């Protein structure tokens, strides 16, 4: 452990962290560069093969155009047109007339080395040339004839001839020019498969790079291929950009001919496209190695340059601790570096800041002492009020003004309850305290209203010790007297009820038999209480006290489905008003 602690120095930490960081960076950079260049090489190879495939497809189009041009000349030949026009008129051609087609066909066949034969048929599928009675329907399928009719005179390529697999079959319908291009017959041409060999210009390159070319018809049958027939079919069965033939991976590029629907496939071995990868791998690894060694040396030098001034400062601070500060705080040539000066300046700034903080704390304590003194002085005012009311009470008792004395006593209790104590612990009282406070308020209001006010208070004894926020009931009683009892012509009654009909909840209700409210007035009052609409200028009936109670109820008793949403008001015009709210009973109390 001692050796490990000795090695756990700042210099070694800097050296280790920088070294690991740079090795990780070089490794990821190497992997990224390797991947990017590999993708670039592969993309370049694919583009090269794609260009080669486009060139090969272009040569295929040239071959197809040659055949298309030659067959166009055949079907528009004057003699062929006259012979088929005669057949279309119902007159069959004589043998000699059919025999005259031989030199015409031979002439056109001589134009192209790939054409094996030309076959001429009438519109009712009889063969005119060669000179036999084979019908077109026996030569090709009805679907082929339908496709030929559908394109109306254009050359249709069917791929390998089903009757002679070593040849390629193409057909076109002959249109009679003198009959408004009506159908007059069919021309079938068979070509040698060797005609479509297109890789002769690339033969030398193909042997060196191992490139292969494959041409298949739309049925997937190979027309010409550098691969064996089974391998060619295996390539055509695989649609992925990379195919496997004989255990070797080949990069595949496909071109589809729009004229024939044939597929031209160009194949290149993967290893041939990735010949530069091994060189790139060696270069990347060598670069990482050289960079890592160079960075190790630079990191060692940098860590030494950083830690050496700190070690000197540490020795200077030890000397200051042993020999006294005045001897060792003066700068020396060995400690004249910028880093040490900055450390000394930072330390001096820290000491200055600490002194400032001490002064601030001292002043804060003085301010708090003064505040406490002012608070003690402020308590004299309510005490003076209470003492004055007590003196007035005893004076009235001596004069036998018992009713007025009880009113003064109620006022003293009311003021003492409201302002007699402050602090968070006094914000919660019991239901008993709240009811007593409401009774004192009713007693005082009784003196003002005389016979116009009666009240009753009923509460379950089990609910008297339930905690409740201070001053929740009295504002509702005040509202009931102000808007209920005083609005009546005769005497009125205020009833306070504390009940529990659900476990865990107590309901406090304040009921008056005043004039009540209609639905519209009640809705406006609820909007003011909820703060939906602003309170009007201060006047009788604004509902400010009830709004305050509502906010405190939501604060102390968040709305729930069981407890409701704060104040609940029921009122009918001419009947009276009921204001109730629910509070939570700690531990729960069984309902009556």
What angle, rounded to 10 degrees, do the helices at 338-378 and 275-323 form? 60
CATH code, domain with 518: 3.30.565.10
**Token pair recorded at residue 273:** 């496209």
What angle, rounded to 10 degrees, do the helices at 101-111 and 10-75 form? 160
- Both 435 and 561 in one domain: the answer is yes
246 vs 335: which has the higher pLDDT: 246
- Both 353 and 472 in one domain: the answer is no
176 SS3 class: strand
- Both 466 and 343 in one domain: the answer is no
590 SS3 class: coil
Domain count, the chain: 3
- Both 87 and 180 in one domain: the answer is yes
Q: Which residues contact 442 (CB under 8 A, 6 or more apart)?
A: 453, 455, 477, 481, 494
- Both 453 and 573 in one domain: the answer is yes
263, 256 Cβ separation under 8 angstroms: yes
- Both 431 and 373 in one domain: the answer is no
Q: How confident is the model at residue 312 (pLDDT cuts 50, 70, 90)?
A: low
Half-sphere exposure of 189 (CA within 13 A, CB side): 31
Q: What is the rounded distance in angstroms from the CA atom of residue 142 to the CA atom of residue 543? A: 96
DSSP lists the bridge partners of residue 499 as 507
Please check the confidence at residue 475 and state whether its pLDDT lies above 70: yes
501, 461 Cβ separation under 8 angstroms: no
- Both 459 and 560 in one domain: the answer is yes
Q: What is the rounded distance in angstroms from the CA atom of residue 315 to the CA atom of residue 310? A: 9
pLDDT of res. 155: 92
Report pLDDT digits (tens) over 165-220.
889 999 999 999 888 888 899 999 999 988 888 665 444 444 455 678 888 888 88
Task: Tell me which of 196, 216, 231 is where a domain ends.
Answer: 196
CATH code, domain with 162: 3.30.450.20
Is 228 part of any domain? no
568 SS3 class: strand
**Token pair recorded at residue 415:** 């003021």
DSSP lists the bridge partners of residue 160 as 168
User: Where do the H-state alpha helices sit in 399-452?
Assistant: 402-419, 431-449
- Both 466 and 357 in one domain: the answer is no
Most confident of 272-286, 374-388, 495-509: 495-509
Of 56, 475, 388, the C-alpha closest to 224 is 56
Half-sphere exposure of 386 (CA within 13 A, CB side): 14
Is 323 part of any domain? no
- Both 357 and 460 in one domain: the answer is no
Instruction: Write down the pTM of the prediction.
Output: 0.43
Q: What is the rounded distance in angstroms from the CA atom of residue 342 to the CA atom of residue 352? A: 15
**Token pair recorded at residue 530:** 């909820």
167 SS3 class: strand
pLDDT of res. 223: 84
C-alpha 104 chain-centroid distance: 74
Please check the confidence at residue 233 and state whether its pLDDT lies above 90: no
Task: Tell me which of 166, 196, 226 is where a domain ends.
Answer: 196
Please check the confidence at residue 591 and state whether its pLDDT lies above 60: no
User: Where do the H-state alpha helices sit in 76-121?
Assistant: 78-88, 95-99, 101-111
299, 15 Cβ separation under 8 angstroms: yes
Is 182 part of any domain? yes
Half-sphere exposure of 174 (CA within 13 A, CB side): 31
Mean pLDDT of the chain: 77
Task: Tell me which of 345, 377, 409 is where a domain ends.
Answer: 377
Q: What is the rounded distance in angstroms from the CA atom of residue 468 to the CA atom of residue 461? A: 15
Q: What is the rounded distance in angstroms from the CA atom of residue 436 to the CA atom of residue 441? A: 9
Is 173 part of any domain? yes
Of 246, 247, 253, 288, the C-alpha closest to 273 is 253
Is 246 part of any domain? no
Of 79, 165, 95, 164, the C-alpha closest to 127 is 95
Q: What is the rounded distance in angstroms from the CA atom of residue 308 to the CA atom of residue 314? A: 10
Is 129 part of any domain? yes
Half-sphere exposure of 270 (CA within 13 A, CB side): 11
Q: Are strands 453-459 and 492-502 parallel, antiparallel or unpaired?
A: parallel
pLDDT of res. 285: 76
- Both 492 and 354 in one domain: the answer is no
Half-sphere exposure of 197 (CA within 13 A, CB side): 12
Is 419 part of any domain? no
- Both 434 and 575 in one domain: the answer is yes
**Token pair recorded at residue 196:** 């479509």
Task: Report how far apart the first and last C-alpha atoms of the chain are (Å, whole number).
Answer: 74
189: exposed, middle or buried (Cβ count in 10 Å: 0-12, 13-18, 19+): buried
* Residue-range definition of the domain harbouring residue 347: 337-377
pLDDT of res. 344: 63
Report pLDDT digits (tens) over 95-139.
888 888 889 888 888 887 788 889 999 999 999 999 888 898 888
Q: What is the rounded distance in angstroms from the CA atom of residue 155 to the CA atom of residue 187? A: 9
Is 217 part of any domain? no
Report pLDDT digits (tens) over 324-340.
444 444 444 445 456 55
- Both 441 and 511 in one domain: the answer is yes
Report pLDDT digits (tens) over 4-61.
555 566 667 776 777 778 778 877 777 877 777 777 777 776 777 777 777 777 888 8
168, 190 Cβ separation under 8 angstroms: yes
């Amino acid at each position: 452990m001692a050796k490990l602690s000795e090695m756990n120095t700042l210099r070694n930490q800097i050296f280790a962290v920088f070294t690991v960081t740079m090795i990780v960076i070089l490794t990821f950079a190497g992997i990224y560069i390797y991947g990017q260049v590999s993708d670039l090489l592969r993309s370049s190879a694919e583009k090269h093969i794609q260009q080669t495939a486009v060139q090969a497809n272009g040569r295929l189009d040239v071959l197809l155009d040659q055949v298309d041009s030659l067959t166009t000349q055949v079907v528009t030949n004057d003699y062929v047109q006259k012979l088929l026009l005669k057949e279309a008129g119902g007159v069959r051609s004589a043998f000699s007339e059919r025999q005259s087609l031989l030199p015409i066909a031979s002439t056109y066949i001589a134009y192209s080395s790939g054409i094996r034969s030309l076959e001429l048929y009438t519109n009712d599928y009889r063969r005119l040339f060669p000179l036999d009675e084979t019908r077109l329907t026996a030569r090709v399928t009805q679907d082929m004839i339908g496709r030929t009719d559908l394109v109306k005179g254009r050359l249709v390529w069917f791929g390998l001839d089903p009757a002679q697999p070593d040849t390629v079959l193409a057909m076109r319908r002959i249109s009679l020019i003198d009959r408004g291009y009506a159908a007059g017959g069919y021309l079938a041409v068979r070509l040698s498969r060797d005609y479509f060999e297109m890789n002769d210009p690339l033969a030398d390159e193909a042997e060196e790079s191992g490139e292969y070319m494959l041409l298949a018809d739309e049925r997937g049958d190979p027309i010409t291929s550098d691969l064996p027939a089974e391998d060619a079919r295996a390539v055509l069965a695989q649609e992925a950009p990379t195919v496997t033939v004989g255990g070797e991976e080949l990069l595949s590029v496909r071109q589809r001919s729009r004229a024939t629907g044939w597929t031209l496939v160009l194949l290149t071995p993967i290893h041939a496209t990735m010949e530069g990868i091994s060189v790139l791998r060696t270069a990347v690894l060598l670069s990482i190695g050289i960079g890592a060694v160079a960075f190790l040396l630079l990191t060692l030098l940098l860590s030494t340059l950083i830690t050496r001034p700190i070690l000197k400062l540490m020795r200077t601070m030890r000397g200051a601790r042993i020999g006294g500060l005045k001897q060792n705080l003066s700068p020396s040539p060995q400690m004249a570096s910028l880093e040490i000066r900055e450390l000394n300046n930072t330390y001096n700034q820290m000491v200055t800041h600490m002194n400032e903080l001490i002064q601030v704390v001292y002043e804060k304590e003085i301010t708090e002492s003064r505040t406490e003194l002012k608070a003690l002085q402020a308590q004299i005012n309510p005490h003076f009020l209470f003492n004055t009311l007590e003196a007035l009470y005893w004076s009235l008792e001596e004069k036998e003004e018992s009713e007025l004395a009880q009113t003064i006593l109620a006022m003293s209790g009311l003021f003492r309850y409201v302002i007699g104590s402050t602090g968070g612990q006094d914000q919660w009282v019991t239901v008993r305290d709240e009811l007593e406070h409401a009774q004192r308020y009713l007693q005082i209001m009784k003196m003002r209203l005389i016979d116009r006010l009666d009240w009753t208070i009923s509460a379950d004894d089990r609910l008297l010790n339930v905690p409740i926020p201070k001053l929740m009931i009295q504002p509702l009683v005040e509202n009931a007297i102000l808007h209920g009892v005083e609005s009546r012509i005769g005497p009125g009654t205020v009833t306070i009820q504390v009940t529990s009909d659900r476990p865990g909840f107590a309901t406090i209700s304040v009921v008056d038999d005043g004039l009540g409210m209609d639905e519209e007035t009640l809705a406006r009052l609820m909007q003011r209480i909820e703060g939906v609409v602003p309170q009007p200028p201060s006047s009788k009936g604004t509902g400010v006290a009830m709004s305050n109670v509502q906010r405190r109820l939501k604060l102390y008793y968040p709305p729930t489905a069981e407890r409701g949403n704060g104040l609940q008001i029921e009122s009918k015009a001419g009947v009276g008003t009921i204001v109730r709210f629910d509070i939570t009973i700690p531990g729960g109390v069984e309902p009556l």
